[in-house]
Amino acid sequence: MTETSHASVSRNDHTLKLTVAGAGTILPARGLSTSCHALEIADRTVVFDMGPGALARLALAGLDYRDLQTIFISHLHPDHTLDLVTLLQALEATPGWSRTQTLTIAGCRGLKAFITELLAIFRDAVPQTYAVEVIELEVGRHEIAGLTVETCLTGHTSNSLAFRLETENGVFVYSGDAADMDAMIKIARQADMFLCECSFEKGYPTTDHFTSDAVGRIAAAAGVRHLIVTHTYPTTDHDRIRADIGAHYAGLVTIAVDGTVAQC
Ligand SMILES: [Zn+2]
Ligand SMILES: [Zn+2]
């Protein structure tokens, strides 16, 4: 093998590889850490949400925080955002290394003020040698750092977004936290990988999250190839979630825990 760059020897350029670094919620639980999902597309790693502890769990998965180029933030709840500041401080505190590459953080309405206020508190995390580009995404289609991204509102909070990435290697959709089934069916249409929150089992009374039967109905109606379930509360029974989904959706289902990997 010819010695080339780290990226070209370790990655298959024709796949999308998803690593669920955090498959849980705000509640502490072994194997269900706060939200963080990494998608490797050719020579880049894109991260969706960064809850507390995300940076450590990305390292456990073999992903280098220095290589992160683009981060999408679905909404501003702490289980999806708190390690943004850990990342920014780590990028300033790495001995013998300085970042020069721009870091793009794109996501929901309010993201700019959120990051500005974080950096006003954690002043040592303010970037010195590189630029942070923060982009608040409207609903619709965007070109972000060379990626084609579609967003929709999810009904979880007033600004919560879902993301659809259309790449040469396949279509990836992440629900974020969500409650609007119609919007999710539309954005998840024919996805190769559909990473969907499933906070609770069928029958649990909720107006701002999906339950397992809703997730099964969405995956079936959208015609997705592979459903990966994330953001399950530690009170849920994964066997029941799988059965509830299977009552509606006959395709491939993975119920994620921390460290789950899926590829297409
Ligand atoms: Zn959440
Ligand atoms: Zn939330």
- What pLDDT sits at residue 81? 98
**1 belongs to a structural domain:** no
Closest C-alpha to 156, from 188, 184, 186, 194: 184
Structural domain count, the chain? 1
Average pLDDT per consecutive 10 residues, the chain (264 residues; last block may be shorter): 38 80 98 98 94 98 96 98 98 98 98 98 98 98 94 98 96 98 98 98 98 98 98 98 98 98 95
- Cα-to-centroid distance, 145 and ligand 1 (Å): 25
**77 belongs to a structural domain:** yes
**87 belongs to a structural domain:** yes
The Cα-based distances of 3 to 9, 12, 13, 251 in angstroms read 8, 15, 17, 40
Task: Return the CATH number at 18.
Answer: 3.60.15.10
**131 belongs to a structural domain:** yes
- Cα-to-centroid distance, 176 and ligand 2 (Å): 8
**18 belongs to a structural domain:** yes
- Cα-to-centroid distance, 25 and ligand 1 (Å): 5
- Cα-to-centroid distance, 197 and ligand 1 (Å): 9
Domain boundaries, position 174 = 6-263
Structure tokens at 84: 């943004």
Q: Quick check: 27 and 231 in contact, CB under 8 A?
A: no
**31 belongs to a structural domain:** yes
